[in-house]
Structure 1
Amino acid sequence: MTTLATELQDRVSRLQGLLVKSGVHAALLLMPADIYYFSGTRQNSALWLPSEGVPVLFVRKSMVRAREECLAAEVRPFPSSREFEREIPNEQLRIGMTFDAVPIQQHGYYSRVLPGREFTDISTFVRETRSVKTPFELEQLRNSADMLASVFTEVPEFLREGMRELDLAAEMEYRLRRKGHEGFVRMRAFNQELFGGMAVSGGGAACGFFDGAVTGRGLSSASPQGASLELIRANEPVLLDFAGIRNGYITDMTRMFVIGDLDHELRRAFGVSLDIQEAVRTAMVPGAICEELYMMAVSMAEKEGLGHCFMGMPGEQSRFVGHGVGLELDELP
């Protein structure tokens, strides 16, 4: 499905307005999610987005796909190092790049091929533009969420005592892919790696490097997250945390299951978690401060005597209660 041309043009216009206000003559976008968001294609390319006028998509590969998919920019072959400067108007001297994600090597390359230009950080402009979802984007997110939710409703059909975590995860992955799940989970944060989902159980769910309340042991020390070869046992919590991806848009859902029953303290903690979730959801209105929502959640956990294990085990707790979604799993806010 291609993104509507009018949708793309509106996104470009919103970013151009921010560039004009800040005195930036053009944006040079290199991150795949940013390029897709403003152009409609994720081909190997760089997007030159001037503060006024039509953007130019410089394509390495594939020109055929880029010409088919790009609806908001002129498509040209990627120029050689010697030719790049000729492609850029001389008056466009102050160039914005997303320093939050672009490697210093890339910054150095463009500094060399575009001498005399000043490069400045526009990460906030790009991420804030993307953080406000349009009706078109909300539709994509709903489609992604519906796909994911439909598979979660099937879990009681195949969750069994004695099956391996890995087999449970594989069944989830199989069913999601059959429904059109696109597979690849984009993240913006440096050095973050994430598989499409995890199926973890018991005490092993809490161990891992990933900045989240639950990570899982994984299959090796090289890939220490997600499902392991451990067997799922009765009367232990089973957690499924999967991303849904449709038309590039990512949603994220976590559901808890148990075969049998849980002891009283675990059931109480689960109930407190639901209360915290509802309180945060109710307070999450336009203009709400994310830090205040987090502190409210922490306070509720502490009042119930669960602050020491809220969002992770003691000493390994994550300091958030949610994250933005969209073309990347960790979007603003």
Structure 2
Amino acid sequence: MFESLERLPALEMEKRLVSFRSRVVEAGIDCDAVLIFSRLNIYYFTGSLGNGVLWIPMDDDPVFMCRKGMERFKLESPVRRIAPFRSYGDIPGILSEFGQSFPQVIGVEKTGINWALADNLKKRLSGIEFVPVDQAISRTRMVKTGWEADKILICGKRHHEALYGVLPELIYPGMTEREISIKIWDCFFSLGHQGMMRMQNYGEEVFLGHVSAGDSANYPSVFNGPVGLRGEHPAITQMGYSGRVWQDKDPLTVDCGFALEGYVTDKTQVYFPAAARVPDSVQKAHDLCIEIQARAAEQLRPGVLAEEIYEKALAKAKKAGFADGFMGLDGNQVPFLGHGIGLAVDEYPPLARGFKEPLQNNMFLALEPKIGIRGVGMVGVENTFQVSDGGGVCVTGDAFDMVRV
């Protein structure tokens, strides 16, 4: 007999379902049930990365319709109503077996299904009105439960130990970006990193993260973040390039997430060769990023609007004369200061203009003020913070200076 590596507590699942249903009501979405398609959101609501479709009624127990892996799902999830599933056309019949009717208006996770499958869904379930519930899902996931917070806190502690405590002993100027990437993996895996990290925005991918020596940090990037990188190859724009050597007068920017039991923290650490003097302009830019992070962290309190934090940071960078390189140079510049984080690196909300989401206790956000310096590279910081009544609590360490190697 097999045993589950972890089983989501039934009370934890119920807490998430209650929160989600209230978010649906708050949003004014008029539906009697919701269909969840993506593996990640199925995991969030059930505790298992199930292969199938999850049915969440507004006033009854959920039903998981499983294409494959039912035995594993039963080991990991407290969901009691489970049935084999082959086609969307099977859904009404499966629900009737559990005494549930099939309503005329159904909420759907529209970003969890592609165009072809959505067409198939509408064909198999004709005459049904489908309404989006993606924002309700995002707003549910943005506030972490205590169960989730405990995992993130452990993840953040190990993340800091890896990048600040262990890695400086393993790297040195003269190594290539790829060699440094391998050392990062060695370090991360030794501390329990589970290898896979997830992005939820369509088309985004992540593998380890960004390892950028010198001007690599300003190399054109397709990733929605401020740090540039050459990556492994045009087909693999992650990690570091084997042809780029960390020179003895270059900053090294390492922007790599850490994953533990499904949850992620985000952190950027800048390293500088110990034998070289840090130029005044580089030190000034890095110090400004630390200051912006500190001021933004003070604002991570319930009720503060996400966009206010970004606007104040942008104004401070402009006043200091770093507007051009703040949050990336040229085409790498991004219009945000940070983002929510949890099961995915890029969770809701972004700290950006137009996002008036009031912060709440137990939200976790990555603050990442960075400045690109032409011909030099990128300096700055990124750390993961927990929103609290007393301001943001950093969960990825309390030392933000460049580490001399």
TM-score by length of 2: 0.79
- The 5-angstrom pairing of residues 109-188 of structure 1 reads 109-152=120-163, 153-188=165-200
Per-residue Cα deviation, 1:109-156 (whole angstroms, up to 9, x for no partner):
222222221100001111101111111111011111122112111122
Q: Does 1:218 align with 2:225?
A: no
Q: What is aligned with 2:273?
A: 259
Task: Give 2:19's match in structure 1, choosing from 14, 17, 20.
Answer: 14
Q: What is aligned with 1:28?
A: 35
Q: Distance in 1 between matches of 2:24 and 2:178?
A: 48
Q: Distance in 1 between matches of 2:331 and 2:196?
A: 31
Partner amino acid, structure 1, of 2:325: C
Task: Give 2:251's match in structure 1, choosing from 217, 237, 240.
Answer: 237
5+ residue gaps, structure 2, are 1-5, 350-405
Q: What is aligned with 2:352?
A: none
Task: Give 2:297's match in structure 1, choosing from 270, 274, 281.
Answer: 281
5+ residue gaps, structure 1, are none
- TM superposition shift of 1:82: 4.5
Q: What is aligned with 1:103?
A: 114
Q: Distance in 1 between matches of 2:112 and 2:325?
A: 32
Partner amino acid, structure 2, of 1:250: V
- SS of 1:83's equivalent in the other structure is helix
Per-residue Cα deviation, 1:228-279 (whole angstroms, up to 9, x for no partner):
1211111211111111111111111111111123211001100111111111
Over aligned residue pairs, what C-alpha RMSD do you find? 1.6
Aligned length: 333
Partner amino acid, structure 2, of 1:151: A
Deviates more, 1:191-200 or 1:132-141: 191-200
Deviates more, 1:89-98 or 1:237-246: 89-98
Partner amino acid, structure 1, of 2:207: F
Q: Distance in 2 between matches of 1:305 and 1:280?
A: 19
Task: Give 1:197's match in structure 2, choosing from 209, 224, 233.
Answer: 209
Per-residue Cα deviation, 1:278-306 (whole angstroms, up to 9, x for no partner):
11111121121221211111111111110
- The 5-angstrom pairing of residues 81-92 of structure 1 reads 81-88=88-95, 89-92=100-103
Q: What is aligned with 2:260?
A: 246
Q: Does 1:75 align with 2:85?
A: no
8 Å CA contact retained: 1:29, 1:46: yes
- TM superposition shift of 1:22: 2.9
- SS of 1:119's equivalent in the other structure is strand
Q: What is aligned with 1:324?
A: 340
Of Structure 1 and Structure 2, the greater helix share is in 1
8 Å CA contact retained: 2:33, 2:56: yes
Task: Give 2:68's match in structure 1, choosing from 42, 61, 65.
Answer: 61
Q: What is aligned with 1:93?
A: 104
- TM superposition shift of 1:186: 1.1
Task: Give 2:309's match in structure 1, choosing from 293, 313, 326.
Answer: 293
Task: Give 1:42's match in structure 2, choosing from 36, 46, 49.
Answer: 49
8 Å CA contact retained: 1:101, 1:188: no
Change (3 A) 1:18 1:162: closer
% identical aligned pairs: 28
8 Å CA contact retained: 2:88, 2:125: no
8 Å CA contact retained: 2:32, 2:106: yes
8 Å CA contact retained: 2:175, 2:246: yes
Task: Give 1:3's match in structure 2, choosing from 8, 16, 23.
Answer: 8
Q: Distance in 2 between matches of 1:100 and 1:303?
A: 39
Q: What is aligned with 2:391?
A: none
Q: Distance in 2 between matches of 1:234 and 1:283?
A: 38
Partner amino acid, structure 2, of 1:312: G
8 Å CA contact retained: 1:35, 1:42: yes
Q: Distance in 1 between matches of 2:22 and 2:173?
A: 57
Q: Distance in 2 between matches of 1:252 and 1:179?
A: 15
- SS of 1:17's equivalent in the other structure is helix
Change (3 A) 1:19 1:324: closer
Q: Distance in 1 between matches of 2:218 and 2:113?
A: 32
8 Å CA contact retained: 1:215, 1:225: no
8 Å CA contact retained: 1:85, 1:113: no
